[in-house]
Chain A
Amino acid sequence: MSLRIVGVIILTIWLMPSPVRVSANNDSLDFHDEWAKMEGYFFSEASDGFNKANDCATDCVRERDLGRALSLLYRQPTTRKNIDEARVLLEEIILEKEEDFWGQISQYYLARLYQIHTFEVDRDKAGLLFLGLFEKFPESIVAQRGMAKYANILLFENITPEERLERLRRLVDILADLTDPVAKKDVSLALANACQLYRISNEKALQHYLTALDIGILASPFRANTLVRAAEIAYAEKQFEIAVKLYQEFLSEFERDNRVNVIKERLVESLRLLNAE
């Protein structure tokens, strides 16, 4: 009798479904460890985790499929089949619900897929997807960050100067609607670079560089370069007060940079010209 009971218990345990990953709420992750692995460049390990999870609750499925899609984009060797599979997964996530985080980030990565991951890069399509995401969800951080990618796609193409000016105007309008400082800074930098590198307008380039510097540039070598770029434009445009401020900022923050001697000379000259005004 007792053996029969033990047998039933064993059978019950054996037949019990494996634990289902259930998404508790919007702010927790069911695949935290896999995302952490992916963040740490352990793409294969992360991919294994996402691929092994076959039983998922509804929310969990979309998180898992995003993980699977991103893993497919990296899987070596890159094949059309993998890219297509990733695209289908992203489209399914969006189709199910486009307004939540998983839907929005999938739209962002669908745009990235067309922008840089496919064999036949389609920058126009990527640009439309980024813009569509932002138009649908202007408050979304992901959508706003997509605008920096959109700016890069739009501005740095081999187009006519008139077309570039028109695109610059469109992006300046978008810039006014951005609330995320990171997105605002990156779009400002794109505008500044375009104005400077394509020799469109030094004045506008300076204005956008100053916006970006005010928001704060995080990577030190990049901040140093941006300070120099802005200071040099201010110097060339005879805006010596701004030039002096920027040269001084550079010298106080990067006193050991190799450009210190040249910058010191520029500072002395800017001060002399400022006083002569």
Chain B
Amino acid sequence: MTKWINTNWLGLILLMSVFAIAMARLSIRKVEVADPNLEIIRFAHYQLYEGMEDAFESLIEDYEKLHPGVKIIQMRIPRKVAPMWVNTQLIGGTAPDLIELPHISQGLTYEQLMRYFLPLSGWVDSANPYNRATDLENIPWRETFIDNLENRPAFYSRLMDYYGIPLVMSIERVFYNKRLLETITGRVDLPLDFREFMEVCDLVRDYASENEKAIFPLASSKESARTFLLSLFSSQTQKLTFEVYDFGILKASSHSFMLANLRGEWNAHQPAVASGLKLMREAAFRMQPGFSQFSDDDALFLFAQKRALMFRAKSENYLGIKSQIAFPLGIARMPYPSPDDPEFGPFVVGQPSEAHLIRTDIAIGVTRFSLHPQRAVDFLQFLTSKTVHSKFSQLSKRLPVIRNTPFDKELEPFYPVTEGYLFGASFVADAETRAFLEENLYLLGNRKVPPDTFQKVMAKEYSTRARKNLEKFNLNRFNSIIQTDLTIGARLVLDHAADSRHKDTSFELNRSVEIQNEMERQAYFLQSELDRLEKADNS
């Protein structure tokens, strides 16, 4: 039988048509010629969400009005392709002036940061000029941020420098079903007291059991359970952190806490640690069974289906959660045991400050390809100045990252309470100890296993994992030291030459030498302690 159409010809015709269309499009394509008098700043980000693009557009308009010779071009990059896109642009040397930094976990490397992005320490230590006539005037730009820019994605401790300017703040909150809460407990709002909070959870459990309904107090994913349970644990180590060796800086460091474990200064049976583990277990019982296998979306689904009273999620998920539920939504801070709590109080200094829980996000880096780095930084200063940032927050419905910035009333429940005391140290820091927790997380939420099972596993295995964690951490630190060595060498040469063509290198040289020496001391100290402990173990 003869075919009524020849498919080879059809393919060829299709190919020719596509080629012709492509040629036509290419020939009519207009190349925008840049005005040589304009300073053009290209700004790439992945915030293709409701409110964000409009917020950027509006502020760009304001900035261009203020600086008529400047044009800011917004480049919207789909999130899924972002890391690959950034990589290509950086390697190809075609990166825009400003790029939203992908997270280290998304493939951005320290080497890329050093090589392709400008360190911002020179700018962040000076005041933001756009804060004139506000209460943030004359305050170093760094200190106008809610976290003093102390964390990633702004500050990279391995590189000891600032590479990103964040635009939003993120914090976890307990979202709850107000109607369900009232039905079960008669309460309108979730209590702020830890004991009362646990009682509410128990009421939910009783209600579910009496009515034979599968309703859980708290819907949780593996990720949110980990951060939540660890914050509870850290509420119990507030005192212990300062009792064990903490390098005398009054700041909880998981690494020094791990070293203290190896030195025998605490173990799983230490009362504060045992109390922390018990608290974690108590909280894990209030989550749905198998929570360690749940993704964020799975947990949200449970909450949206009214099968959980509460759901713990990040503030940036607020609009998404709101759009998926059909009941009045309550938002509350997670309560922690107070010093007068009869069971968990003895290990607590005071209500922990949420400063420790704040995460900053949407950090913008200035690439080394920028022809106008000063202008690019100026635009970032504009975006993060108090007045402008307030407008950004209102338009984008995101929490402001700048202190004392007025924001939308709707966001009020998300604003972190930074008064209070630091959380204690956690026993989890990097991949190795995180894996230890994740491998054993199921033991905490399982009523069938004896209550001290996690504790026993910790007593048996934790020190080995902590040692591995510290060894890897120190190896990375030595690699960073090696990387900074050449830069310091170049600075020594440039500084010696006192070349007028080059900017004053003395400050940067002295600062980088100071930081490198400090990193080296810490690395050598840790190494000497690990060696000593290993020798002691072997003998």
| Chain A interface residues toward B at CB < 8 A | 27-29, 32, 35-36, 38-43, 46, 63, 66, 70-71, 73-74, 101, 105, 108-109, 112, 116-117, 142, 145, 148-149, 152-153, 155-158, 182, 185-186, 189-190, 193, 196-197, 217-222, 225, 228-229, 232-233, 256-259, 261-263
Contacts and interface: CB of A to CB of B under 8 A. Distances in A.
B115 A228 contact: no
A105 B491 CA distance: 12
B493 A29 contact: yes
A123 B114 CA distance: 27
Contact of A217 (B148, B419, B490, B514): B514
A173 to B, nearest CB: 20
Interface string B496-524: 11110110010100110111011011001
B269 interface: no
A27 B510 contact: no
A232 B486 contact: no
A220 B142 contact: yes
Contacts of A66: 493
B472 interface: no
The CB with the most chain B CB atoms within 10 A, among A105, A112, A152, is that of A152
B119 to A, nearest CB: 9
B125 A220 contact: yes
A109 B517 contact: no
Contacts of A193: 521, 525
Contacts of B356: 258
30 contacts: A28-B497, A28-B499, A29-B493, A29-B494, A29-B497, A32-B499, A35-B494, A39-B487, A40-B487, A63-B493, A73-B485, A117-B482, A145-B492, A156-B527, A157-B524, A185-B514, A186-B517, A193-B525, A196-B248, A197-B247, A218-B510, A220-B142, A221-B150, A228-B249, A228-B250, A256-B148, A258-B356, A261-B353, A261-B421, A263-B250
B535 A219 contact: no
A143 to B, nearest CB: 12
B517 A29 contact: no
A85 to B, nearest CB: 15
B368 interface: yes
B521 A156 contact: yes
A116 B485 CA distance: 9
Contacts of B528: 156-158
B355 A258 contact: yes
A217 B514 CA distance: 8
B482 A116 contact: yes
Contacts of A28: 497, 499
A181 to B, nearest CB: 9
The prevalent SS among residues of B at the interface is: helix
B243 to A, nearest CB: 13
Contacts of A152: 517, 520-521, 524
Contacts, number: 161
A112 B485 contact: yes
Interface residues of B, number: 64
Nearest to A45: B115
Contacts of B251: 225, 228, 258-259
B78 interface: no
A43 B401 CA distance: 35
Given A41-B114, A158-B532, A259-B422, A189 B517 contact: yes
Nearest to A232: B248
B8 to A, nearest CB: 49
A63 B502 CA distance: 17
A125 B408 CA distance: 63
B403 interface: yes
A36 B492 contact: no
A101 B497 CA distance: 10
Given A221-B150, A229-B249, A256-B148, 17 more contacts: A32-B502, A35-B493, A39-B491, A43-B486, A116-B482, A117-B482, A153-B524, A158-B528, A186-B514, A186-B517, A193-B521, A193-B525, A219-B518, A232-B250, A258-B251, A258-B418, A258-B422
B532 A39 contact: no
A97 B142 CA distance: 46
B482 to A, nearest CB: 6
Contacts of A229: 247-249
Given A256-B403, A258-B356, A261-B420, A149 B520 contact: yes
A105 B486 CA distance: 12
A182 B527 CA distance: 25
Contacts of A74: 482-483, 486
B266 interface: no
B55 interface: no
A67 B492 CA distance: 12
A218 B121 CA distance: 11
B490 A38 contact: yes
Nearest to B147: A258
A148 B516 CA distance: 10
Interface in B332-382: 350, 353, 355-356, 368
A259 B356 CA distance: 11
B143 interface: yes
A258 B247 CA distance: 17
Contacts of B532: 158
A116 B478 contact: yes
A225 B521 contact: no
A36 B353 CA distance: 44
A117 B478 CA distance: 10
Contact of A219 (B160, B486, B494, B531): B160
